[in-house]
A = this chain, B = another copy of it.
Amino acid sequence: MSSLQNTFSSLKKAQTQLALENRQAKDKALAAAAAAIDADRKIILAANEKDVEKARAGGMKESLVDRLLLNDKCIDDIIAGIETVIRQEDPIGKVRAGWTLPNGLFIEQVTVPLGTAAIIYESRPNVTADAASLAYKAGCAILLRGSSSALESNRALVKAIKAGLAAGGGIAGAVALADSGNRDEVDEILTARGFIDVVLPRGGKDLIRRVVENARVPVIETGEGNCHIYVEPSADITQAVEIIANAKLQKPGACNAVETILVHRDIVKDFMPLLAARLAGKAELRCDPVTRAAIEAALRTLPAGLVLKDATEEDWATEYIDYILAVKAVASVDEAIDHINQYGTKHSEAILTNDMQAAEEFRRRVDAACVYVNASIRFTDGGEFGFGAELGISTQKFHARGPMGMEALTTIKYLIRGTGQIRP
């Protein structure tokens, strides 16, 4: 018997119970889970400290350690996230449509829990609590497979959550942590047909690829974000510089950080020196010849610390997740859209413009989960969207696209009532 078989079975059993819980019961259990995390705050932070020490001792990059690190503020945010989930409507049992057939059959389309989800994620222990609370409210059991680097943190968090759910009269068995640390565990999850209804890989390109190649259960791909901002000639240039700086610098490790800037060639001369000045010493620029020339023409006025390189074809296809920005001049909104649809990962894309027609064209033709006009693409986030937390950001074109809140863990069921109808 595989090592997770018992876990799969007990999750499935717990899910059938949880599916029947009403909103009051689910919210009460979640409130108790939040209280338990609050009560276990010191234990959780101590466990996290162990993970962080081990990570640093193992030579983990500080930007990754930063993703792993919990502090009091993080615990507060985790608790606030659960409270937002509690305040949200129950996504289950909604009649989304209903109609009567000519023969009198009455059909209703009702939302139901998707079943048992598995989330496979790297670092970020806050995902543990976010995913557990969203799944619980959606009536879904969840198997959490965090990174081995966050093992102690996740154990402490899951222990608190399960104890809280139980104390609140809930179904603690609906949350489980896969914590053997064994890599085979992932393959077991990916092939658990009949037990795992969906797998959500949340992490880098390699994780996503491994999941897609090995999964025999449904997958919703997340996260890989090669995102663009297109600066159209009519854009507010000062605002554009600040939006780009925000989208690159606020959290370069996030999947919705910007990776490539497309600038209309008509404004390259005015715009590029401003952008270069703003990012000098903060992010490396990899430019095509046109944008590089515009910066170099203004070099004497630029601050020290500017790192300028030539972009290659590979840069257009790269998600740096780092303080690096590719820049390219384009001749039209059409060229910008075509570039994005060719190299983008259908995550978050923005146009900065004051031209209605260009904005409309961009919104219609860019194929991405989130298409922005005049704002930083860093808002693509379940918390920012008002979902309380998120399971990840789907780059898959299914019911769940973009930031996934609890609705991503629901599906539908048709309920049909008749009076003896048979098919002629």
Contact = CB atoms under 8 A, between A and B. Distances in A.
Q: Give the one of A236, A376, A412, A420 with max B CB within 10 A.
A: A420
A243 interface: yes
A242 B414 contact: no
A86 interface: no
A374 B418 contact: yes
Interface in A376-424: 376, 378-380, 384-386, 396-402, 411-423
Nearest to A109: B402
A239 interface: yes
Contacts of A107: 385
A213 interface: yes
Contacts of A371: 413-416
Contacts of A402: 412-414
A422 B198 contact: no
Q: Number of copies of this chain in the oligomer?
A: 2
Nearest to A115: B397
Interface string A221-249: 00000000000000010010011011100
A177 to B, nearest CB: 23
B16 A413 contact: no
A358 to B, nearest CB: 13
B250 A416 contact: no
Contacts of A414: 369-371, 380, 385, 401-402
Contact of A250 (B384, B400, B411, B423): B423
A364 interface: yes
A212 B365 CA distance: 32
Contacts of A219: 218
A422 B250 contact: yes
Nearest to A114: B397
Given A114-B397, A365-B20, A375 B411 contact: no
A23 interface: no
A105 interface: yes
Contact of A386 (B101, B245, B367): B101
Nearest to A193: B212
Contact of A423 (B341, B367, B379, B385): B379
A200 to B, nearest CB: 13
Nearest to A218: B396
Given A370-B416, A399-B411, A412-B402, A421 B212 contact: no
Given A218-B397, A372-B416, A401-B413, 8 more contacts: A101-B379, A114-B398, A212-B216, A247-B422, A369-B414, A371-B413, A385-B414, A401-B414
Interface of A: 16, 19-20, 99, 101, 105, 107, 112, 114-115, 193, 197-198, 212-213, 216, 218-219, 236, 239, 242-243, 245-247, 250, 341, 363-365, 367-376, 378-380, 384-386, 396-402, 411-423
